[in-house]
Amino acid sequence: MEMDFGEGAMEQELLAQEAKSAEATSRGKRAPKAKAKQLPKTCFVCPEPCCKGKRWCLSHNRQYDCLYYQAKSKGETATLEQAVINANRAREVFLKFSSDNPSDGKWRRKSLIDWSAFRREFVVARTVRYREGTTPYEYGQWLKRGENIMGWSKEQSKSEWEKYLADESIERDSLGIGNSLRLWLPVVAEKHRDKDRTVLAKVEEGSQQYKNLSEADRDILMKHAGSTAGLGQAESWLRQDASMGEELVVTPQKRKQSDENEDKDAEIETPEAKRKRMRFEKMTGAALSAFKNTKLELVREKAEALEASLVEARTKLQEASEKLEQETAKDAVMTSYEKTIASCQGLVDEWKKFVAIGDDAEKNREAVAAADQALKEQLATMGDVALVKADAVLHSKTFFKLEAQAMLQLLNAQAVDDTFTRIMKQDAAVVELFSKALKKVGTDVVNYIKQKEKKDEENKELQKVREHAKAAAAKVKLLKGSAHKVFGIDQTAWNAFVENDGKDFDVAAHLDKPSVLRACEQAKTWRNQGDVTVKLSEFGGVYKKANSFKAEGRAIAAVIAKCGKEAAEALMHKVFPCDDKRLDLSTVKEGELFHNNLWYVGFDNKMAGCWLCPNGAAMIRVLAMGSMNVVAFPVEEVASRLSEKVADPKCDDLIQYILDFAEDADKSIGWAATVKQDDVAFIPQGWIIAEQCNGTTPLVYGVRKSYMLTTEASKTNYGRVIEILRNTGRDVAKMEEFLALYDESDKSKDKDPPADQAVQEGQAAE
């Protein structure tokens, strides 16, 4: 027992030691390292996370499952795996599948995949070619080549020739000049680096590509490849010669289309059609007669309605024809409408012709055929005007009468119904369209006439507006647009020229006021005389080339004796019969010649300016062409007003004062008139004039004559003209001699030798 107890104590001690050892061992162990977290896998073709155990995301995995299902059923799993072998190709496959099967058709059947499209082979080959050859050379040619091309010396060329001559492998012949020796020497050395790109597209019979081929493309493909080609046939085709002829290949016939697309319901009778057929089959006796009479009445009513519609169309055509007859100015469209309306009226009359129908069916058919033929011939005359469709037949009134009679002879209701349907939906419909076309022709004619009248009225109004606008623009351009304010003042604001009626007008009593003789018959007769017309035309053609014309827009030329001067003198004497009021200039050199001179005058049609009357004398001017606005001022009154602003005014001051005449200034000193062709204008002595051409004609010209008058106002204004010209620095000696004659008018003086007449005219140039 003691032993047993001792052994138990020992066992307890050993257990305690083991526990301490285990505790010590566990305290000394290092804690295990944490395992690295596995990164999430992304899809093979997109950055989305993969499904568990797959290489695709959720959406691409669904598409791949659809692709794999079709590939497995067709035995094309290897083709599918090859198609998605890399990310780029797989992405293209999925994009193609998504476009063929959009997401909006979730429950739609997936489209079939053409696996042959994935088996296209693309080959890019690079070829390096080395080309060697020989060229025949005679001895002299070889020496020339060595010297000119290779740059060898003559000895080197000979050495090379001897080397090739000793080589028995060099080919040689005797085809040189004089059967001389030629050696075929290796001088051709070329290197070619070619890149050959080959695209191999396999087309399998039964594939979608093969099914979509046309017959012509299928024949070409089968002749090229051969549908029964066995092993080695392609190689034999490549090796065969063209002279052997084309290999006979039997092209397989195209398989017939399946009956899936055929309308299976085409021959199936609908319940409604069945009920109608059965009702017609049971219809006999009185019921059939009543049915016939009902349809017959409807056909007659339709024929009456068609006739009434054509009568209405005929009325519209007649109204249009009457409107065309009322038009005086007819254009090409109206002329065409007249012919069309006449043909349309003839068609209506032809349709309404009724042929009596008897009991002979054959004659009735011939009568209807003749009436329809007449309508057809009448329609052919319409040309491009299509009143009925090209494939339609227009039947006459007699046709409907015959068809109605023929319906009574039918023995079953189905035939009656078919005839009635044909008449109403085909024959009557053509006549209805024919009637509408006729009405449209009449309506188009009336509308065209109304539109033409409206357009003519608009054109007239537009023409009036254009004329007013043109006149206003011309006035603005000539008046307001001018740099001179005096021409912008309305003529009614000035004093009007005294009107000379040419009958009882006292010229001598109106020598101190400007006057105008309108549309003078003597002036018209004068300019229409033969020699005068010629001289005026000659002057009108050359006066714009004068030197003075460029500066002032005016030109003058003397009227020479026996060249129209006599007729012009006679005209001046008629319109100005005041010889007793002329100042006696006989005591001054060329004094009498001053009164005898006549001058052609020409102006620019856009001329506008101000100047003294020639020599400060009175002036009579007749316009042979053109028109112009004239405003005349007495120099004495203008100079008196100007002297308040400018001491010792000069000619330029006087002209500028008139050109800048303000709108609000006193206009009582001015006299205005518009002088036109054949008008005779008179300007008193010592007056200044502002003139502006209206631009209505390209040329403005006429004739003028100057006078020195004896009135007191003439003397006063003439003296002020001399004073202003003297202030300007002009030579006024000759004018002062004329002025002195007013004080010595009762004395007679000896005549001096004549002087040049040009000196007289140049004394008082502006």
The arithmetic mean of pLDDT across residues 166-191, rounded, is 85
The arithmetic mean of pLDDT across residues 300-322, rounded, is 81
Q: What is the pLDDT of residue 15?
A: 54
In which band, very low, low, confident or very high, does the pLDDT at 402 lie, cut at 50, 70 and 90?
confident
The order of strands in the sheet holding 671-675 is 495-496, 671-675, 628-634, 687-693, 608-612
642 φ/ψ angles, rounded to the nearest 5 degrees: -70, -30
Return the minimum-mean-pLDDT range out of 41-50, 123-132, 418-427, 720-729. 123-132
pLDDT above 90 (res 634):
yes
pLDDT above 60 (res 18):
no
pLDDT above 70 (res 573):
yes
Q: What is the pLDDT of residue 757?
A: 42
Q: Where are the alpha helices (DSSP H) in 167-284?
A: 208-211, 215-225, 233-239, 271-282
Q: What is the pLDDT of residue 755?
A: 44
Return the minimum-mean-pLDDT range out of 165-179, 298-312, 507-521. 298-312
pLDDT above 50 (res 205):
yes
Q: What is the pLDDT of residue 24?
A: 55
- Contact at 8 Å (CB) between 516 and 622? no
Q: What is the pLDDT of residue 318?
A: 80
% of residues, the chain, pLDDT over 90: 9
* Greater pLDDT, 148 or 336: 148
pLDDT above 90 (res 632):
yes
Domain assignments of the chain as residue spans, ordered by start: 58-113, 123-200, 280-455, 482-761
Q: What is the pLDDT of residue 64?
A: 92
* Greater pLDDT, 329 or 312: 312
The order of strands in the sheet holding 121-137 is 121-137, 182-200, 172-173
% of residues, the chain, pLDDT over 70: 75
Q: What is the pLDDT of residue 631?
A: 92
* Greater pLDDT, 615 or 215: 615
The predicted-structure confidence for 434-476, as pLDDT tens digits, reads as follows: 778 778 878 888 888 888 888 888 888 888 888 877 766 665 5
Domain 482-761 has CATH 1.20.1630: no
pLDDT above 80 (res 39):
no
pLDDT above 50 (res 355):
yes
pLDDT above 70 (res 225):
no
Q: How far, in Å, CA of 89 to CA of 288, rounded?
A: 77
In which band, very low, low, confident or very high, does the pLDDT at 243 lie, cut at 50, 70 and 90?
very low
In which band, very low, low, confident or very high, does the pLDDT at 621 lie, cut at 50, 70 and 90?
very high
Nearest to 600 by CA among 535, 684, 688: 535
Tell me the average pLDDT of the chain.
77
3-state secondary structure 640-701: HHHHCCCCCCCHHHHHHHHHCCCCCCCCCCCEEEEECCCCEEEECCCEEEEEEECCCCCEEE
Q: What is the pLDDT of residue 682?
A: 92
Retrieve residue 269's tokens: 């009778």
Buried/exposed code over 473-512 (b: 16+ C-beta within 10 A; e: otherwise): eeeeebbeebebbbbbbebeebbebbebeeeeeeeeeebb
pLDDT above 50 (res 234):
no
* Greater pLDDT, 468 or 629: 629
Residue with tokens 């012009």: 568
* Greater pLDDT, 592 or 55: 55
Compute the chain's Rg from CA coordinates: 61
Q: What is the pLDDT of residue 672?
A: 92
Instruction: Give first-to-last CA distance, the chain, whole Å.
Output: 177
The predicted-structure confidence for 710-759, as pLDDT tens digits, reads as follows: 888 888 888 889 888 888 888 888 888 888 888 776 454 444 444 444 43
